[in-house]
Structure 1
Amino acid sequence: MQTKTSLFLLTGLSLTMLTHAQNRATKAPPRPNASQPAVVAKLPEFSLTRTEIEVHTRFLASDELQGRRTGDPGNLAAARYIAEQFRLLGLKPAGDNGDYLQRIPFERVVAATSASMIIGGDKVELGKDLAVMAGGPADVSGDVVYVGYGLTDGEDGYKGRDVKGRILIAQGGSPEAKGPGEIFRASRQKRKLATEKGAAALIELYSESIPWGFVNQYFSREQITLPSGGSSAMAHLWLNNANNQFKHLKEPGMSLMLQTSGRPRIPAPSANVAGIIEGTDAKLKDEYVVLSAHFDHVGVGKQGGNAYPPSDSIFNGARDNAFGTVAILAASKALSQQRPKRSVLVLALTGEEVGLLGSSYYAEHPLVPLKQTIFDLNTDGAGYNDTTVVSVIGLERTGARAEIEAGAKAAGLGVFAEPAPEQGLFDRSDNVSFAAKGIPAPTFSAGFKAFNEEIGKYYHQAIDNPESLDFNYVQKFCQAYAHAARLIANRTTRPQWSAGDKYEAAGKALYGR
């Protein structure tokens, strides 16, 4: 692995390269779509060159950044590169201490080495039917208390129960949880509440849609997590209840014995990167459009989670998500050269690949008021298999379809709405952290209509390198994204959730309308 010093030297070298590319870009003639009106063709986004797009991509997806895994030196170097690009473009620092970084004290959670549970005469071992999610070493026994889903103080929860020092049994997931992200978020909420109640341990009866084999594999590796907030001592485990074999633990008078090595936690700091382009309209500049993309990837070797050849163990993440990070850098340049009416917060997020953690942290610690944040145009994706379109997850739900379609058309691209609906993609990227707070937040992705072999060939694979990209398409994509962002920031009215959307109520609560 490269040292921090050599990574930052490389950052400086790439900045020099980019400055030359930008100097050339100012002299290069626009390359608009032939059908554009002349006034649109003269906007700065259509002077973005292939060269500057390629320079950004080749640095962010370089071997020297070692897969940009959250908490590793390559991730920190990527954050610094993005911050210095914001400085170069004149964005106002929006991070901590007057700079561009929103620092997050993540923790690296080491895998448990042992765990066992005795229920009656049966012994359950780590791996086969038991997974340790969190907590320190524990050796506890006694009667259990069933708390339903363990998410509330209501009837199906803790109401009327003193659980201090007790072993709690909770149903896995939540009534609404469908995908992995929702299941894990519910689990974290349960752990937080059980810790506040003083419980000795929390055991979830797991019977969700993700096969137990995948669960076991996931918890057999280290994870990156948000700060524990004092909840790290309580043992938290998942018990495989796929065949309802442990349903009797819900009954009164049941007891068990639990031993676990726990999961040690080690500091693994990272940062979101944030800069502001101030709007030009006296009233609308107090409203913000967020442009977001995650810049982290999955790292090197076994960290990547997939097979790799001996000759190349680095998961460079050119498509996922250097591609999107370059789009927000390109939009930053275009919108800073000719500012829109509303203010724009450009937000490069860390920790997406380890559970949408950077965006979750931002949602709880916003750098501009959420109530004044009217839209998040997130960009992320697994790759592309159609270079004639952009694909937008949430296009039909988030109220800015006309602007997104016009942005794509101006760059010579079409729009494909809601690709691969069976994948539940809306709730699998950073946009959902904004949506859950009520902010309309689609994801603007590279062109694909289905997850096929062309997508799978590169998605989270070691061959996802810059050399495999079609940079003519990346250039058009960046122009389309920047122009759509401009149109949304210039709207006379705020985008609104579609009537009946699952996040509409959160939007009404946030905005009071």
Structure 2
Amino acid sequence: MQTYSMATLAVGLALATVSVQAQPRTTKAGAANKTVSAAQLPEFAISKAEVEAHTYFLASDELQGRRTGELGNQVAARYIAEQFRSLGLKTPSGQTNYFQPIGLEKVKAATSGSLLVGKDTLKLGKELVVMAGSATDVTGEVIYVGYGLTNGEDGYKGRDVKGRIVVAQGGSPDAKGPSEIFRASAEKRKLAIEKGAAALIELYSESIPWGFVNQYFNREQIALPVSGANSSSVAHVWINNANNQYKQLKEAGQTVTLRTSGRPKTSVPSANVAGIIEGTDPKLKDEYVIVSAHFDHVGVGKQGGSAYQPEDSIFNGARDNAFGTVAILEAAKALSIKRPKRSVLVLALTGEEVGLLGSRYYAEHPLVPLKQTIFDLNSDGAGYNDTTIVSVIGLERTGARAEIEAGAKSAGLSVFAEPAPEQGLFDRSDNVSFAAKGIPAPTFSAGFKAFDEAIGKYYHQAIDNPESLDFNYVQRFCQAFAHTARLIADRATRPQWSAGDKYEAAAKALYGQ
């Protein structure tokens, strides 16, 4: 696809912003409390033309695939912020603008790496991947620390690892999906750094195929920095421990030699974008519903991770996730025209495609108290293969089924629950960062029932362009999403996790239930 100049980009941004500013707004409390019929609610005035305008800008060639850390991602963030400004959204307390800055790191791939274990030499690109650290050449005895996630008997208790090589089991007892495995890995690296270890070796035998792991970590990554004085120097590697073939590394007295070129890091600025719609109820306005979507995508050419043609190397990401981003923009407009009882935090997240980074950062640095956050309605998806439905991951678990079904029905759509269960989708999008803190958080997705050919044709492919979307469906999806958000924000009681859900304990800890 053709690449345009920054001047053209600036003009497009200005025109798109002006078009939204020209839309009528009513945000006075009196107007917000005025009784209207459901059909008169502003979400049902969402226009196809406006939905198209947002999508064509966010998924344009000029934004170069919106990759986190790249200029196109920053321009998308600015566009979203200016929509918030035009709608009169408030900035979060303590903020002077709509941006939540995040200092990320761009981590280059290692160029060499080896681990000598007895007579075996494990090599980079085969049995070994380098996760982090600077150039390293260290020989010594290993100390096994279980999963390496605690100071207890099954971790570091009684073990002096300062200046020594730590070996940990991969993953964690609860880690099932990729995000959980990667999160556990980052946590054990942080703890190893705090304990003064010289290197960390993880014995990998998790559910993600080793071939994928090998390919993914032997290219550039974007990451949240790990705190600690020695975080840049501690080597961290995974080795393929399928069939427990390197179980001897768990035994005392084993000596290994680890050599890596390291993974150089540079700082990369990025940001989430957040605006607040204050609720109308004197008591309930202190509670918040988040409507969220990630606005990043995978970039251009080799960054995209999939095949592409020379004439079309931009991974525009219309379905994933300009689609969801437009949904939160339209919800922001509707809910600001007629405000609900509870306050709403409209949250556009960066870094989802590179490890749920924006939502992970927000969960650790919330802009409104997590204890006062009763729900996250997240929108994300790989695409659609059924334009008569919305698909909801977590419908049965997160306590707002009635509102979600009513919201979809209001736009002439029905709800399909838990599509493609074999994919473990609940733990693969930004909603899981909120769920892990205890906040009920389903993902409201474009209609699909399975990862079939219609999904695979566009998912993370260069042909995922706005021209291929059914905008009549996108319009109805946005109406359904906005009305669902309103119904949840107007509920008399808070939604609750289903009894026995794995995130129920976190909710009890957060809310004091």
The TM-score range, normalised by the shorter chain, is over 0.9
Counting only pairs closer than 5 Å after superposition, residues 223-302 of structure 1 correspond to structure 2 as 223-230=221-228, 231-302=231-302
State how far apart, in whole Å, the 2-side matches of 1:132 and 1:409 are: 49
State how far apart, in whole Å, the 2-side matches of 1:208 and 1:70 are: 27
State how far apart, in whole Å, the 1-side matches of 2:299 and 2:94 are: 26
Corresponding pairs, count: 501
Counting only pairs closer than 5 Å after superposition, residues 425-440 of structure 1 correspond to structure 2 as 425-440=425-440
State how far apart, in whole Å, the 1-side matches of 2:207 and 2:341 are: 45
State how far apart, in whole Å, the 1-side matches of 2:185 and 2:4 are: 36
8 A Cα contact 2:20 2:86, kept in partner: no
**Could you report, residue by residue, the CA deviation over 1:432-477 in whole angstroms, capped at 9, with x for unpaired residues?**
0000000000000001111100000000000000000000000000
State how far apart, in whole Å, the 1-side matches of 2:240 and 2:413 are: 47
Amino acid at match of 2:364: E
Which residue of the other structure, out of 185, 190, 193, is the alignment partner of 1:192? 190
- With structure 1 as the length reference, what TM-score do the two structures score? 0.95
State how far apart, in whole Å, the 2-side matches of 1:122 and 1:380 are: 44
Inter-CA distance 476–440: structure 2 relative to 1 (3 Å threshold): same
8 A Cα contact 1:289 1:344, kept in partner: yes
Q: CA deviation at 1:207?
A: 0.9
Aligned to 2:78: 80
**Could you report, residue by residue, the CA deviation over 1:255-297 in whole angstroms, capped at 9, with x for unpaired residues?**
1111111000111111000000000000000000000000000
Inter-CA distance 293–95: structure 2 relative to 1 (3 Å threshold): farther
Amino acid at match of 1:311: E
Aligned to 1:121: 119
**Could you report, residue by residue, the CA deviation over 1:394-420 in whole angstroms, capped at 9, with x for unpaired residues?**
010000011111111111110111111
State how far apart, in whole Å, the 1-side matches of 2:288 and 2:10 are: 32
Aligned to 2:334: 334
Q: CA deviation at 1:108?
A: 0.3
**Could you report, residue by residue, the CA deviation over 1:329-377 in whole angstroms, capped at 9, with x for unpaired residues?**
0000000000000000000000000000000000000000000000000
Identity %: 76
8 A Cα contact 1:96 1:102, kept in partner: no
8 A Cα contact 1:137 1:261, kept in partner: yes
Aligned to 2:50: 52
Task: Answer with 221-230 or 375-384: which moved more.
Answer: 221-230
Aligned to 1:29: none
Q: CA deviation at 1:8?
A: 3.6
8 A Cα contact 1:69 1:75, kept in partner: yes
Q: CA deviation at 1:243?
A: 2.8
Amino acid at match of 1:309: Q
Matched, 1:140 2:138: yes
Aligned to 2:505: 505
Amino acid at match of 2:288: Y
State how far apart, in whole Å, the 1-side matches of 2:157 and 2:446 are: 48
Aligned to 1:367: 367
8 A Cα contact 1:96 1:103, kept in partner: no
Q: What is the RMSD of the two structures over their aligned residues, measured on CA atoms?
A: 1.5
Which residue of the other structure, out of 11, 14, 17, is the alignment partner of 1:15? 17
State how far apart, in whole Å, the 2-side matches of 1:495 and 1:125 are: 50
8 A Cα contact 1:18 1:56, kept in partner: no
Q: CA deviation at 1:247?
A: 0.8
State how far apart, in whole Å, the 2-side matches of 1:313 and 1:323 are: 20
Aligned to 1:161: 159
Question: Structure 1: which 5+ residue stretches go unaligned?
Answer: 27-36
8 A Cα contact 1:204 1:237, kept in partner: yes
Inter-CA distance 338–38: structure 2 relative to 1 (3 Å threshold): closer
Amino acid at match of 1:441: A
Specify the SS of the correspondent of 1:163. coil
Aligned to 1:31: none
Q: CA deviation at 1:96?
A: 6.7
Question: Structure 2: which 5+ residue stretches go unaligned?
Answer: 27-34
State how far apart, in whole Å, the 2-side matches of 1:284 and 1:18 are: 29
Q: CA deviation at 1:244?
A: 1.8
8 A Cα contact 2:296 2:321, kept in partner: yes
**Could you report, residue by residue, the CA deviation over 1:94-136 in whole angstroms, capped at 9, with x for unpaired residues?**
2874100000001100000111111223222111111000011
Specify the SS of the correspondent of 2:426. helix
State how far apart, in whole Å, the 1-side matches of 2:403 and 2:115 are: 56
Aligned to 1:215: 213
Amino acid at match of 1:463: I
State how far apart, in whole Å, the 1-side matches of 2:366 and 2:18 are: 32
Amino acid at match of 1:131: V
**Could you report, residue by residue, the CA deviation over 1:131-189 in whole angstroms, capped at 9, with x for unpaired residues?**
00001111111110000110111111111111100101111111111111111001000
State how far apart, in whole Å, the 1-side matches of 2:413 and 2:207 are: 37
State how far apart, in whole Å, the 1-side matches of 2:163 and 2:460 are: 43
Aligned to 2:356: 356
State how far apart, in whole Å, the 2-side matches of 1:220 and 1:261 are: 12
Aligned to 1:423: 423
Aligned to 2:61: 63
Specify the SS of the correspondent of 2:444. strand
Aligned to 1:474: 474
8 A Cα contact 2:142 2:256, kept in partner: yes
